[in-house]
Amino acid sequence: MPPRTCAHCNAAKAVLRRPKTGLLVCRSCFFLVFETEVHETILASNLFSRGDKVAIGASGGKDSTVLAYVMKTLNERYDYGLDLFLLSIDEGITGYRDDSLETVKQNSSEYNLPLKVLSYKDLYGWTMDDIVSTIGKKSNCTFCGVFRRQALDRGAAQLGVDHIVTGHNADDIAETVLMNVLRGDIARLSRCTEIVTQTPAGAGESKGCGGGGGDQEDEDEVDPASAAVDFLGIKRSKPFKYAYEKEIVLYAYFKSLTYFSTECIYSPNAYRGYARAYLKDLEAIRPSAIVDIIHSGEALPAKGATKQVQTTCSRCGYLTSSADGLCKACLLLDGLNKGVAGMGINSKPSKTAKLAATNGEEQKSRPSPQTLRAAASAF
């Protein structure tokens, strides 16, 4: 049988079948089509403006490694005029983040992108190793997700960047849509498909974990107790919103990119694991399921979603939607420092935090049965 030719150029030998479209493509057309789709996502959402300083959240894993490479490529190819940085958070997980940070350092020098590393130990006084040895593995992802979100914002503020991009991909977002539907969490459902956010969306947006251990590169660490930084100005976005995980892996493989592929040792994440397995089954039957779920998520939530009122934490200056005055990270730290770690996890948002910002009406965070039925029937 003669070798099959690429469906795009009709000339070169096809080397892979694109997971997203099923088309047989050659290596260079695959690179080009993958990069062009990310470029189109960036243009369609007006993600950047010329002169923006952009930090790439770099964990050393496949998604953020490919993101760093593609952002650099597109910035040069299309002359976006962006000032790019790598920003890594060292959560303090021995045998995981210390190794992955070595990969980030390698990428920093290979791609010629300056790297900044911030650690939980310096910011919060606790590593994830310390936290897990105190509270066990249950709920540790809550601490890690809340701390990382804030740490990324603090790193961005120190770098003076306008924007953080992360490697969340289409599979991550589709999984999150499924999880929010299954939990009936309409507020998060309305946020999880947004390609850009400008204020903290809370721990639930984290798709689970990261790990950690690396060194500090900067001397001007933020003291959480004295920070008064305008976090509201920092945008976050997901240029890989429509990029399939399988294609990211293929891209990294065919480009021979260096990335760290071990799962976090503290990440049980059972619930997301079920959503992921279900999504993979759906993808095997119909590859468009991933992007279809994202589109459903975008169309669903309008009703019943609330916007939270943002104020600043009375202790560290970070953003919070709690009228009690403390941000989630400070609440969690209080619990840890007082030896009652469940305190921050179990605390419920105060009633005022649930006020809808737009119309001033108080709304319940639980959706109505009709809203839930409508959401569930879409799947």
Ligand X SMILES: Nc1ncnc2c1ncn2[C@@H]1O[C@H](COP(=O)(O)OP(=O)(O)OP(=O)(O)O)[C@@H](O)[C@H]1O
With CB under 6 A as the contact rule, the residue among 6, 61, 235, 246 that binds ligand X is 61
Alpha-carbon distance of 137 to 266, in angstroms, equals: 6
With CB under 6 A as the contact rule, the residue among 25, 209, 243, 282 that binds ligand X is 209
The separation between the first and the last C-alpha atoms of the chain, rounded to the nearest angstrom, is: 42
Per-residue contact string for residues 74-93; x = within reach of ligand X by CB under 6 A = -------------xxx-x--
Which whole-number Å values give the CA distances from 352 to 86, 219, 317, 331, 365, in the listed order?
A: 37, 39, 19, 17, 11
Q: Tell me how crowded residue 19 is: count the other CB atoms within 10 A of its CB.
A: 16
The site that binds ligand X (CB under 6 A) totals a number of residues, namely 20
Strand partners, 237: 165, 196
Per-residue contact string for residues 169-208; x = within reach of ligand X by CB under 6 A = --------------------------------------xx
**Relative orientation angle of helices 62-77 and 27-44, to the nearest 10 degrees:** 80
Tell whether residue 89 is among the known ligand binding residues. Answer: yes
Residue 26 C-beta: closest distance to ligand X, Å: 26
Alpha-carbon distance of 374 to 366, in angstroms, equals: 14
With CB under 6 A as the contact rule, the residue among 64, 119, 308, 322 that binds ligand X is 64
Residue 304 C-beta: closest distance to ligand X, Å: 27
Per-residue contact string for residues 110-149; x = within reach of ligand X by CB under 6 A = --------------------------------------x-
Structure tokens, 209: 């974990």
What residue is closest to ligand X based on CB?
61
Alpha-carbon distance of 288 to 281, in angstroms, equals: 12
138: nearest Cα among 32, 232, 266, 316: 266
With CB under 6 A as the contact rule, the residue among 142, 166, 190, 320 that binds ligand X is 166
Q: Could you tell me which stretch among 28-36, 55-63, 313-321, 338-346 binds ligand X (CB under 6 A)? A: 55-63
Cα-based torsion angle of the residue sequence 153, 159, 165, 167 in order, rounded to the nearest 10 degrees: -90
In whole angstroms, how large is the CA radius of gyration of the chain?
21
With CB under 6 A as the contact rule, the residue among 92, 167, 214, 297 that binds ligand X is 167
Where along the sequence are the contacts to ligand X (CB under 6 A)?
Answer: 57-59, 61-64, 87-89, 91, 148, 166-168, 207-210, 212
Binding-site members for ATP are 57-59, 63, 89, 167, 172
